[in-house]
Amino acid sequence: MSCEEQLRNGGCLASRKGAFGDGHRSLCNSLRQGWEIAGIFLSFIKPFRISQEREPRFSQRRGGQALEQVARKAGESPSPEALRRREGQPILTAGTVLPAFFIIGLIFIPIGIGIFVTSNNIREYEIDYTGTEPFSPCNKCLNVSWDSPCTCTINFTLEHSFESNVFMYYGLSNFYQNHRRYVKSRDDSQLNGDNSSLHNPSKECEPYRTNEDKPIAPCGAIANSMFNDTLELYRIDNDTRTPITLIKKGIAWWTDKNVKFRNPTGDGNNLTALFQGTTKPVNWPKPVYMLDPEPDNNGFINEDFIVWMRTAALPTFRKLYRLIERKNNLQPTLQAGKYSLDIAYNYPVHSFDGRKRMILSTISWMGGKNPFLGIAYITVGSICFFLGVVLLFIHHKYGNRNTSADIPN
Amino acid sequence: MTQPGRLPVPCPLGFWVWLGSQGAEEFGVSGFGSGDCLAADAGVLGCMGLTGSCVAEEERRVRANAREYNEKFQYASNCIKTSKYNIVTFLPVNLFEQFQEVANTYFLFLLILQLIPQISSLSWFTTIVPLVLVLTITAVKDATDDYFRHKSDNQVNNRQSQVLIGGVLRQEQWMNVRVGDIIKLENNQFVAADLLLLCSSEPHGLCYIETAELDGETNMKVRQAIPVTAELGDTSQLAGFDGEVICEPPNNKLDKFGGTLYWKENKYPLSNQNMLLRGCVLRNTEWCFGLVIFAGPDTKLMQNSGRTKFKRTSIDRLMNTLVLWIFGFLVCMGVILAIGNAIWEHEVGVCFQIYLPWDEGVHSAFFSGFLSFWSYIIILNTVVPISLYVSVEVIRLGHSYFINWDKKMYCAKRRTPAEARTTTLNEELGQVEYIFSDKTGTLTQNIMVFSKCSVNGHSYGDVQDMLGHKAELGERPEPVDFSFNPLADPRFQFWDPSLLEAVKLGDLHVHEFFRLLSLCHTVMSEEKSEGELLYKAQSPDEGALVTAARNFGFVFRSRTPKTITVHELGQAVTYQLLAILDFNNIRKRMSVIVRSPEGKIRLYCKGADTILLERLHPINQDLSSITTDHLNEYAGEGLRTLVLAYRDLEESYYRDWSERLHRAGSAPEGREDHLARLYDEVEHDMMLLGATAIEDKLQQGVPETIAILTLANIKIWVLTGDKQETAVNIGYSCKMLTDDMTEVFVVTGHTVLEVREELRKAREKMMDASRSVCNGFSYQEKLSSKLTSVLEAIAGEYALVINGHSLAHALEADMEVEFLETACACKAVICCRVTPLQKAQVVELVKKYKKAVTLAIGDGANDVSMIKTAHIGVGISGQEGIQAVLASDYSFSQFKFLQRLLLVHGRWSYLRMCKFLCYFFYKNFAFTMVHFWFGFFCGFSAQTVYDQYFITLYNIVYTSLPVLAMGVFDQDVPEQRSMEYPKLYEPGQLNLLFNKREFFICIAQGIYTSILMFFIPYGVFADATRDDGAQLADYQSFAVTVATSLVIVVSVQIGLDTGFWTAINHFFIWGSLAAYFAILFTMHSDGLFRMFPNQFRFVGNAQNALAQPTVWLTIALTTVVCIVPVVAFRFLKLDLKPELSDTVRYTQLVRKKQKAQHRCLRHAGRAGSRRSGYAFSHQEGFGELIMSGKNMRLSSLALSSFAPRPSSSWIETLRKKKGCEGSSAGSPSGADKTLKV
């Protein structure tokens, strides 16, 4: 077998330097296996080497043969041969597959352990304040409606202190923010400050498009169902309630806040004037331009609103509510101890068996607590490694010693 | 006079276009519309093409020169139309046709669904973009095809012919010729319609035609006008001719015609002998007049052509079934999800109405479920994406170009590349199980070469240094120099100088041998100028023999009805021709009785050895046994042999005999029998002269090709119009039949019972043999057959030879299964003397009962029906006109290319198509089923997991090109290996690579992937937050994550599936990934959002989501989990149970030459049994014609009248013809022929 063919078919570099006898085939094979691991990347380079070698021979063969020339004229322009020369035929051999399995195993297991450890170091505290249980302080608010606010207070104890910045979430369960009719029920053009859409919202917003012949701003079911419980956190230290500063800005994506959501523009900065002629969503207690006293957090660019408008993928979800920044390096953000959560209970979920939660969590480089990912990585890595061992065993015990004798003719 | 040209434009479907003397350049080619039949006569056209809708014609009445009279019958005009559209009807008709495709209608239906807002889960453009794309591509293709059909229609319809109208000849276009017109034809013109020959320039109203286009026979045929009309010499007489023909209605029987001419109160019976059929070419006849009987679609040619059937491959059919299944599956999923939706709305949705009220008009959960069914049908429809059909077409087109571009299938001599004329059948080439081959022009070149002879016990013609293959010129010594003979044919070559020496030395036996060859034949000669001899032979065999005699100094110069003039070594000798004892099938010999100038009467006879050797004088015994040895030797080499003998007749005996002959000839009844007896009597006690061996030149590489195809488990049947002996001979010489075969059954029965009996016997024998083998009784036999054959599947090797008339019975409904069983048990089947229709019937039979892919290969018009019937039709271009090519799906110029077409291109096409389909279904299931799982978490609301742009582009952009590249370029083993290991072809025949099982595996893999694709991100996202604390599991980030993992997983998967990496594969795979990210970031960019806020809602999503390490970790995890099991599974399969192709790939280091095979090819069956026949392929009856002198005008009688004729066309034609039959060099058309003599 000529070197070119070896190169072309299996890609044995070693034999390129000279003719190897049969005795060297094993060497050649092992080299080739190594070669194949590099596979995809090297096959970019390989064709060039081959074509350099082969080109002169091609031209010699063709040269002077007029009929061949005719042939080329007659039926072929970019013959597939040109492509075929840049070929590589990878094949799943023990030399490629088994190392790959081991390598995957060896990479995945440490990553998994890393993630797992990181995830375990994250502090997270969760309170369900739905109030379905009779003894819950919020039980009284269970049948709340939009216009009769109710407050309740839940006391809780943090066993461990939260060292770094703490993120405060509200979590909803059994809430189908990913329902098709829900997801589409918005007008992004309106939310982007388009004046014509403001006064004439998209049909997608139905039935929350207009109310009493006035266009609703913001329109649609998503906006209408905006979460409007107010959560306040107090540290209870020797019976004194110290409020904890909750930062409400910086909880939305930058792109959402600056690109996707914009207040309508017009004369002056008076939002009330700009939203003139529109009406508030049915469920809202106050119009959109009164969401927040600060002008850069009011109207469509109110961050609570933006966070709500970024619909969740799954019926159980948590959304960022407030940030608690660590004040100095000496004290943890939230010390271990007693706390109380004051809830202005406005948002009814009981009717559809929904749950409401308040979550406090720290985060790491990979976000919040996420045990699944670490365990999955460790499991997959182990399986790969194990599979590698099993396959190696099978290969050695039963593996096909491919020889020419196997080829029937 | 131009030469027959090749088709200047590709004409994919217009099968009936002949191009001959009237080339395209002669008449301007008009585009759409003009010159259309519709314009010409719309009234008649209503009927044509759909003859069924007209009242069936019971008999046809045609009155000459009476257009008004004939018009009331509304016969079809002579215009043919194969085009489908004109410029106005194109759009509506084409769209209508396209929407008849289920797939297109389905997508239209989806489109309509999407316009209903309550249902629409996707924007309308996700469907309309691909649909419009598909419709446009198809429409453009259809328009191009139809344009070429218009072109060829116009070309044929606008050919000129001379019509006699009102006593004057007028030039009319073919399409304006009506039934009942009298038209004039000139030499070398195509016959425009089916004509009744009225009169011709030749005496006795004779007329010569070539019917190659019609039935594939290259022999010239004679037609004769009935005597009364033959006298109508000029136009005025013809204008007054008002005979009426009453004849059979149009039918497709080429060799039958029945009718009566009523003229001047007389009745004249008409037969096929009086007819000139459309498609024939007038030869050697200056002019003739004919009455149009059948025109246009009614002509026998058109009736024979049958309808062009749209061929579908088995994969196509399987694919359609699977698509239906998938559709069923889709409905099931829809139902499940709809039920889910109804339950959900009933349990949860009702309560959730405070935040999400039901749509207007939806009042119950049940109705909501109903709507959601349709919504899910829309979003899940991507399991059968419309791009499937387009991609399949593109891949096939690519494969067709590979065939067209294949240098190794390019015939340099004829300058013809292989051509894939249909682009839809490529993968079926990888599944062929039966090949039906024509013989003449396909397996053989239809060139006879005088190769060897045995004279007086001495064999001449052997080349000392090599016995084997004759084709290699380089290995032979110089040919014998015939320059001493000024009349020698320069193209004749002979390699053994000893024969010429024997002639020169005056060996009397040799002289007598050649004298016989120069006298005993029915060849006509023509001498344009001194020494320039042209022979017009009825069969190429005779031509070869007479040419051989000519070169060895016995030049047949001319003949008259009573004499034959021969130049014997330079001296003109005129023999008196006393009788020609003509050839027929039973006699298998022909003789002439001549009186030499010295007055001696001698009978010269040549014929089949079996017949002749028994008729020799006993004193020939020794010589006879030596000659028999020689005959065996020749036969072993596959040569056609003839034995030559003579007998001196006493003057008195001859007188007496000829007296009796005369009496017998005029006997009112039993004439044939009397003659046969008299012939038999005189051809007795003959002296053996020797034997000749003619090589029926095979096409290059035929035996090798057949051997390799046989090894690939392909069964080859030869269907030929030739005689049994010839066919069997060829069977032996191309190694289809070997002497190692256990038995060759010959079925020649004339009645149903005989045939049935013969078939039964054959089956019994085979069964007995295999039974005894099984019982171990005839172990010996088994052993011997094992030794001799490479393939050992059945107990013995059998072959079946069946004759045309037997075949007719065998193909009858009650016997066809029996016949098929018998035939399929045989290794080789040869059907001889079959009609074109029978060829098609045989193919149909196998198709019907065998569920196997059939391929028919042929070169002549007589193969057209078979080519059209078979799953795949292959036309050999360049031999007998282009009808076969036009009807074929693939064409090339040499039989041997079939090997490459099937084993390389076909195999690859099949492999690629299978891999493509597997992957395609996989990727779409992986893609679509995610919606199904998501349905359980979004209230079954038909919310899509992905962005709508991703859904639109997934099949068109992100995943289309890599799989296309694989479908076009992939290969498992290099081409050399496919040829080396024909066994690699078997998976295709067994349909292993893509079948229902494979399909389910792909689907399962797809579903598995979709589950992971949804649930791994679900698991990760459920509680996760971003690294800035914000929510991670928002819908849009989830969509991006799943979509990105999907694109990566399917890209890795295609990387695994690709067996053959070209630069294009790399480019497409990496390019698709790059395109995905590029498009993703573009779609999610600020700019687009600012322009269309409601269309590009995902603004900023890509950069926000893909900046998260968690997202990438998820993608990596998903990819590994999806791919690892596949790799492990494949590795195990490869390691433990490798396919042959895997092994071949793996052991490409091992070079295993086919030495063994070559050995068996070359030297098998050397000790040939004698199987010679009077292998002349000519008909009887020419002897009589010669003796009557009717046709003598051409040669001696009318040389003078020929001379002043200005046109040299006659000579040109003959030379060309000669060039076709005889040898190559020199003639202008020589380049078209492959000849190595």
> Helix B102-114 vs helix B125-157: angle between axes, to the nearest 10 degrees?
140
Q: Which amino acid is at B626?
A: I
Q: Return contacts of B400-407, CB within 8 angstroms, 24+ apart.
A: B400/B426, B402/A80, B402/B905, B403/B890, B403/B901, B403/B905, B404/A75, B404/A76, B405/A75, B405/A76, B405/A77, B405/A79, B405/A80, B406/A75, B406/A76, B406/B900, B406/B905, B407/A68, B407/A71, B407/A72, B407/A75, B407/A76, B407/A79, B407/A81
| Res B1180: pLDDT | 59
Token pair, residue B447, equals 């060139």
Q: Which of A50-59, B407-416, B531-540, B863-872 has the lowest mean pLDDT?
A: A50-59
Q: CB distance from A318 to chain B under 8 Å? A: yes
> Closest chain B residue to A189 measured between Cα atoms?
B1093
- Check whether B947 has a pLDDT greater than 80: yes
More confident residue, B424 or B604: B604
In angstroms, the Cα distances linking B108 to B96, B128, B317, B323, B886 are 12, 8, 22, 17, 36
Q: Which of A245-249, B202-206, B414-418, B1078-1082 has the lowest mean pLDDT?
A: B202-206
Taking contacts as CB-CB distances below 8 angstroms, the residues of chain A near B1140 are: 407-408
CB contact under 8 A, A1 and B1151: yes
Q: Which amino acid is at A358?
A: M
Q: CB distance from B12 to chain A under 8 Å? A: no
Beta bridge partners of B525: B535
CB B446 within 8 A of CB B678: no
| pLDDT above 90 as % of chain B | 16
CB A384 within 8 A of CB A108: yes
In angstroms, the Cα distances linking B1234 to A69, B258, B701, B1224 are 19, 41, 13, 7
Residue appearing with tokens 């004409």: B11
CB B272 within 8 A of CB B194: no
Q: Please name which of B228, B172, B145, B171 lies closest in space to residue B40, comparing C-alpha atoms.
A: B172
CB B1233 within 8 A of CB B1224: yes
Confidence grade of residue B213 (pLDDT, cut at 50, 70, 90)? low
CB B1127 within 8 A of CB A92: yes
Nearest-CA distance from B981 to chain A in Å? 6
| Res A182: pLDDT | 92
Instruction: Sort B267 into a burial class: Cβ within 10 Å, 0-12 / 13-18 / 19+.
Output: exposed
d(CA B909, CA B853): 15
CB contact under 8 A, B1035 and A76: no
Greatest mean pLDDT among A97-101, B109-113, B525-529 lies in A97-101
- Please name the residues between 38 and 67 in chain A that touch chain B, using a CB distance below 8 Å: 40, 43-44, 47, 67
Average pLDDT over residues B956-983: 87
Q: CB distance from A27 to chain B under 8 Å? A: no
CB contact under 8 A, B1113 and A167: no
d(CA B756, CA B1024): 81
- Please name the residues between 329 and 348 in chain A that touch chain B, using a CB distance below 8 Å: 348
Taking contacts as CB-CB distances below 8 angstroms, the residues of chain B near A86 are: 1062-1063
CB B609 within 8 A of CB B625: no
What are the two backbone dihedrals, phi and then psi, of residue A164, each rounded to the nearest 5 degrees? Answer: -95, -170
CB contact under 8 A, A40 and B1061: yes
What are the two backbone dihedrals, phi and then psi, of residue B741, each rounded to the nearest 5 degrees? Answer: -65, 145
Taking contacts as CB-CB distances below 8 angstroms, the residues of chain A near B1106 are: none
* Parallel/antiparallel/unpaired status of strands B554-559 and B563-568: antiparallel
Helix (H, G, I), strand (E, B) or coil at B480: coil
d(CA A166, CA A363): 8
Nearest neighbour of B1030 by CB, restricted to A320, A351, A383: A320
Nearest-CA distance from B1109 to chain A in Å? 6
CB contact under 8 A, B407 and A403: no
DSSP for B372-422, please give it. HHHHHHHHHGGGS-THHHHHHHHHHHHHHHHHHH-GGG-BTTTTB--EE--
- Please name the residues between 110 and 149 in chain A that touch chain B, using a CB distance below 8 Å: 111, 115
| Res B477: pLDDT | 63
| pLDDT above 70 as % of chain B | 82
CB A122 within 8 A of CB A361: yes
Q: Which of A27-36, A186-195, B515-524, B585-594 has the lowest mean pLDDT?
A: A27-36
A:B CB pairs within 8 Å: 342
CB contact under 8 A, A40 and B1066: yes
| Res A61: pLDDT | 35
- Check whether B909 has a pLDDT greater than 70: yes
Q: Which amino acid is at B284?
A: N
* Parallel/antiparallel/unpaired status of strands B244-247 and B259-263: antiparallel
A222: Cβ–Cβ under 8 A, 6 or more apart, which residues? A177, A182, A183, A185, A186, A308, A309, A311
Taking contacts as CB-CB distances below 8 angstroms, the residues of chain A near B1115 are: none
Q: CB distance from B727 to chain A under 8 Å? A: no
Q: CB distance from B791 to chain A under 8 Å? A: no
Average pLDDT over residues B612-640: 84
CB B886 within 8 A of CB B6: no
Token pair, residue B698, equals 């095979």
d(CA A224, CA A226): 6
More confident residue, B231 or A105: A105
Nearest-CA distance from B140 to chain A in Å? 23
| Res B53: pLDDT | 39
Please report, in range form, the residues annotated as the binding site of B for ATP. 438-440, 542, 583, 606, 640, 720-722, 833, 839, 862-863
Average pLDDT over residues B558-580: 86
> Closest chain B residue to A43 measured between Cα atoms?
B1061
- Please name the residues between 147 and 186 in chain A that touch chain B, using a CB distance below 8 Å: 165, 167, 169, 174-183, 185
Token pair, residue B948, equals 């709508």
In angstroms, the Cα distances linking B914 to B427, B644, B1054 are 9, 60, 13
| Res A147: pLDDT | 64
CB B338 within 8 A of CB B376: yes
In angstroms, the Cα distances linking A246 to A329, A342, B352 are 18, 13, 31
Taking contacts as CB-CB distances below 8 angstroms, the residues of chain B near A376 are: 1016, 1019-1020, 1117
d(CA B868, CA B840): 8
Nearest neighbour of B942 by CB, restricted to A86, A180, A251: A180
> Helix B90-100 vs helix B102-114: angle between axes, to the nearest 10 degrees?
90
Q: CB distance from B348 to chain A under 8 Å? A: yes
CB contact under 8 A, A367 and B1154: no
CB contact under 8 A, B404 and A319: no
| Res A372: pLDDT | 92
Q: Which amino acid is at B338?
A: A
Q: Return contacts of A290-294, CB within 8 angstroms, 24+ apart.
A: A292/A248
Q: Return contacts of B807-813, CB within 8 angstroms, 24+ apart.
A: B807/B831, B807/B834, B807/B838, B807/B842, B808/B838, B809/B749, B809/B751, B809/B752, B809/B755, B809/B756, B810/B747, B810/B755, B810/B759, B811/B838, B811/B841, B811/B842, B811/B845, B812/B752
Catalytic entry in B438, B489, B541, B696: B438
d(CA B80, CA B157): 7
Q: Which of A151-155, B272-276, B910-914, B1190-1194 has the lowest mean pLDDT?
A: B1190-1194
Q: Which of B299-313, B685-699, B986-1000, B1094-1108 has the lowest mean pLDDT?
A: B299-313
Residue appearing with tokens 């742009």: B949
- Please name the residues between 1125 and 1184 in chain B that touch chain A, using a CB distance below 8 Å: 1127-1128, 1130-1132, 1134-1138, 1140, 1142-1152, 1154, 1156-1157
CB contact under 8 A, A83 and B974: no
* Range list of H helices, B870-995: 883-887, 897-899, 907-935, 948-953, 960-969, 975-980, 986-989
Q: In what order do the strands lie in the sheet with A150-158?
A: A150-158, A337-345, A230-237, A240-243
Q: CB distance from A394 to chain B under 8 Å? A: yes
Taking contacts as CB-CB distances below 8 angstroms, the residues of chain A near B1063 are: 44, 47, 83, 86
The residue among A145, A178, A394 with the most chain B CBs within 10 A of its CB, best to mutate, is: A178
Helix (H, G, I), strand (E, B) or coil at B1021: helix
Kindly state the DSSP code that residue B987 receives in the 8-state scheme. H
- Check whether B1189 has a pLDDT greater than 80: no
Q: Which helix (H) or strand (E) segment is A124 a member of?
A: strand A124-128
d(CA B1087, CA B541): 83
My answer on whether omega of the bond before A207 falls inside 30° of 0, hence cis, is: yes
Token pair, residue B150, equals 């218009």
Average pLDDT, chain B: 79
Kindly state the DSSP code that residue A247 receives in the 8-state scheme. B
Average pLDDT over residues B1-27: 34
CB B218 within 8 A of CB B880: yes
| Res A277: pLDDT | 87
> Closest chain B residue to A257 measured between Cα atoms?
B1100
Beta bridge partners of B690: B455, B644
| Res B1126: pLDDT | 92
CB contact under 8 A, B1143 and A407: yes
Q: Classify the C-alpha dihedral B1172-B1173-B1178-B1183 as positive or negative.
A: positive
d(CA A397, CA B403): 44
Confidence grade of residue B917 (pLDDT, cut at 50, 70, 90)? very high
Give pTM, 2 decimals.
0.77
d(CA B56, CA B73): 12
| Res B172: pLDDT | 84
Q: CB distance from A108 to chain B under 8 Å? A: yes
Nearest-CA distance from B995 to chain A in Å? 23
Farthest CA pair distance, chain B: 129
CB contact under 8 A, A365 and B1034: no
**Residue B622 appears among annotated catalytic residues:** no
CB contact under 8 A, B407 and A310: no
Q: CB distance from A225 to chain B under 8 Å? A: yes
CB B174 within 8 A of CB B155: no
CB contact under 8 A, B1063 and A260: no
Chunk chain A into consecutive blocks of 10 residues (it has 409) and report each block's average pLDDT, rounded to whole numbers. 40 36 39 38 34 34 36 37 46 81 94 93 91 86 74 90 91 92 90 89 88 89 91 89 90 90 82 87 89 88 93 92 87 89 89 90 88 94 93 83 48
Residue appearing with tokens 């933006």: A306
Chain mean position to CA B454: 40
Confidence grade of residue B1175 (pLDDT, cut at 50, 70, 90)? very low
| Res B795: pLDDT | 55
| Res B1040: pLDDT | 94
d(CA B329, CA B1006): 14
Q: CB distance from B414 to chain A under 8 Å? A: no
Instruction: Sort B251 into a burial class: Cβ within 10 Å, 0-12 / 13-18 / 19+.
Output: middle
- Check whether B181 has a pLDDT greater than 90: no
Please report, in range form, the residues annotated as the binding site of B for Mg(2+). 438, 440, 859, 863
Q: What is the pLDDT of residues B873-891, one digit of tens each?
A: 998 876 556 667 877 889 8
Query: ipTM score here?
Result: 0.81
Nearest-CA distance from A239 to chain B in Å? 31
Taking contacts as CB-CB distances below 8 angstroms, the residues of chain B near A115 are: 1113
